[in-house]
Amino acid sequence: MFARQQAAAAHANWGEFVIEAFIRVLGFSTIGFVLLIFLFLLREGVPIFYKVPPSNLFGIHWYPIFDLFGTLPLLLGSVFVTVTAILIALPLGVATAVFVREVAPNWAREVLKPMIEVLAGIPSVVLGFFGMHVVAPLIRETLGAPTGLTVFTGGLLLAYMALPTIISVAEDALDAVPKSFRDAGLAMGATQWQTIWRVVVPAARSGITTAVMLGMGRAIGETMAVMMVTGNAARMPLSLDALFKPARTMTATIAAEMGEVAQGSAHYHALFGIGIILFILTLLINLVAVSTIFKKQRRGGLR
Amino acid sequence: MRAVCRQMCWVFLVGAVMVLSSGSLACREQRTGDTRSPRSGTENIENKGSDTLVNLALAWAELYVQERPEVRISVTGGGSGTGIASLMNRTADIANASREMKIEEIRAAEANGIRPVEFVVARDAIAVVVNPSNPVSSLTMQQISDIYTGKITNWRKLGGEDRPIVLLSRESNSGTYVYVLEHVIRMGEPKSKLLFSPETLLMPSSEGISTEVRQNPNAIGYDGLGYVTSDQKVLAVARDASSPYMLPSIATVKEGSYPISRPLYMYTAGEPGGQVKAYLDWVLGPGQKLVSKLGFVPLN
């Protein structure tokens, strides 16, 4: 009797050990994958930094088939489109999160939350198609721009794509603000709007920063929709009207050119070089996002 | 925040499952592929490359397989460079290309012990297209060159309305882009350093060009004649101011009066033999009657 019980216990322990080991391997493998991908990027991309002089590499002409690898227009294009997207998505996203979390009645919240998550599931190529056929002509006709394939069009679509991330993370941040804050605000005689705007939103500030950073990470890495609606002209977006002119992003460049590049050529390494720049940029954005999370944790209940 | 974490865990799990299952699927496929081919006695020809050529290559393969049921031909697109890369790592028997192989590519192939052999299989006219509402209906080569280098930026200078010109082009990796640059913008002068204006919109697909040309009265674009739809206006092109303006068609390309046409290629790894040679002989012979049906120009 006793022996059988012991065997059963040993069996359970062993099973638990296997499951635990399996989960641990899965967990660590994510880090492993990221590391391997980064090593691969480095191996394929670093040669461009010594094969091509920096004056060419950070020049303003991207004509890869003529060995002109100026990444500056691409970098500025990516940053410009992303910043436009965030400027559009931030107020909309935070306002939606405030509405869902603070204002909406329960039944509306139950409907809105899943709908917002569905928004995140729309494939970007579908959005790109929509942008190409509906948004771009609309922008050309209403704004009188020479073409509808512009930074602004890309920014609009990216904002739409970054919204679900921003809304759900910002909503979690608002959710984490203790009820006592709201009670205190209302008890001081503040209206609901004053409580939200002066107490709850500032208290969730760091969470909202995280939301914006994650949305930005999503926007800068987005490829398909951007490639379809920004026109992909590698021009320097320096003048004021550049918002309503085409631009070429780093992601679109990699996606459009990788399929046709001769392996091992300078162009091939240049595309991976852009990949490295993109990787570092997203890493920086994520680091900022993570650091705000840590700050929040250290401050404990005071967030 | 916790919801996001949970979501990410799910994404990872689903991803892991997908990776694992696709891996095992791939293994299985390979195994069945290996056992099937010797048993049924069919020979498989892998044909890969240029998106310009893909429809024609498919039509050829379909007809040829009807005549020769013992051969199987699989045709895939992906671009000229993709096809050539596959030829080099021996995953394709025939590479389709809408441009000549680059010197680097030939060198890389030779480093792999492969000597690529070139076949011209058809010709293609490149049409210059504008929006149907654009009153301009003909241009000289010099004018097209000036438009695409950014020297002429308004349709008024070409006898059109007072509208800015929006330049559309295929992506720089497309064989069509290289051809237009060398033979239209640089007018065939090897020493010329002219480039597409940085304002040029590089569209990732023919569909991108036709959509924008259809919608935008400012646009000008170019593409293979086989890809031009009826809702775009094709311009007549003259070699120089004293030559006649010609519309692209099979007849004008054949007699050489339409100035913008290029050869389309197939490449094999070394001199072809066996079924690959038989197929190429057929493509260059009886297969040519299919070429004009798909909007390309046959060799003779």
Q: How near does any CA of chain A get to the CA of B163, in Å?
A: 8
Can you tell me the mean pLDDT for A30-41? 92
Q: Could you say which of A132, A169, A231 has the minimum Cβ distance to residue B4?
A: A169
Tens of pLDDT, residue by residue over B139-171, are: 999 999 999 999 999 999 999 999 999 999 988
Whether A208 and A201 have beta carbons less than 8 Å apart is answered as yes
Please check whether residues A30 and A61 belong to one and the same domain.
no
pLDDT for the residue A3? 64
pLDDT for the residue B47? 93
Please check whether residues A160 and A26 belong to one and the same domain.
no
Write the DSSP assignment of B57-123 as a string of letters: HHHHHHHHHHH-TTEEEEEEEE-HHHHHHHHHTTS-SEEEESSPPPHHHHHHHHHTT--EEEEEEEE
Q: How near does any CA of chain B get to the CA of A229, in Å?
A: 9
Instruction: Report whether pLDDT(A85) > 70.
Output: yes
Please check whether residues A92 and A175 belong to one and the same domain.
yes
Can you tell me the mean pLDDT for A7-33? 86
Can you tell me the mean pLDDT for A146-163? 93
Token reading at B259? 């100035």
Closest residue on chain A to B218 (Cα)? A146
Instruction: Report whether pLDDT(A289) > 70.
Output: yes
Contacts of B99 (CB under 8 A, 6+ apart): B80, B175, B178, B179, B262, B265
pLDDT for the residue B294? 87
Chunked mean pLDDT (size 10), chain B, 300 residues: 46 45 40 38 85 90 92 88 86 91 87 92 93 94 94 93 93 83 89 90 86 92 88 93 91 89 92 91 92 87
Sign, CA torsion A133/A136/A142/A147: negative
CATH number for the domain harbouring residue A294: 1.10.3720.10
- Indicate the angle between helix axes B80-88 and B103-111, nearest 10 degrees: 20
pLDDT for the residue B229? 86
Please check whether residues A29 and A175 belong to one and the same domain.
no
Contacts of B256 (CB under 8 A, 6+ apart): none
Please check whether residues A164 and A32 belong to one and the same domain.
no
Q: Which of residues 179-238 of A touch B (CB under 8 A)?
A: 207, 210, 214, 227-228, 231-236
Please check whether residues A140 and A225 belong to one and the same domain.
yes
Please check whether residues A159 and A39 belong to one and the same domain.
no
Which is higher by pLDDT, B9 or A75? A75
pLDDT for the residue A90? 93
Domain span including residue A19: 2-45
Tens of pLDDT, residue by residue over A113-151, are: 999 988 888 898 999 999 999 999 999 999 888 899 999
pLDDT for the residue B38? 40
- Mean pLDDT, chain A, integer: 88
Token reading at B227? 């890809």
**B236-238 and B219-224 beta bridge pairing:** unpaired
Tens of pLDDT, residue by residue over A207-259, are: 898 899 889 988 998 898 999 999 999 988 888 788 899 999 999 999 988 87
Please check whether residues A16 and A127 belong to one and the same domain.
no
User: Is B105 in Cβ contact with A262 (below 8 Å)?
Assistant: yes
Please check whether residues A173 and A25 belong to one and the same domain.
no
pLDDT for the residue B201? 93
Please check whether residues A166 and A263 belong to one and the same domain.
yes
Can you tell me the mean pLDDT for A259-271? 82
Q: How many domains does chain A have?
A: 2
Residues of A in contact with B2 (CB under 8 A): 172
pLDDT for the residue B42? 76
DSSP SS3 for B44: strand
Model ipTM value: 0.79
Please check whether residues A28 and A77 belong to one and the same domain.
no
pLDDT for the residue A251? 94
Please check whether residues A206 and A61 belong to one and the same domain.
yes
Residues of A in contact with B3 (CB under 8 A): 168, 172
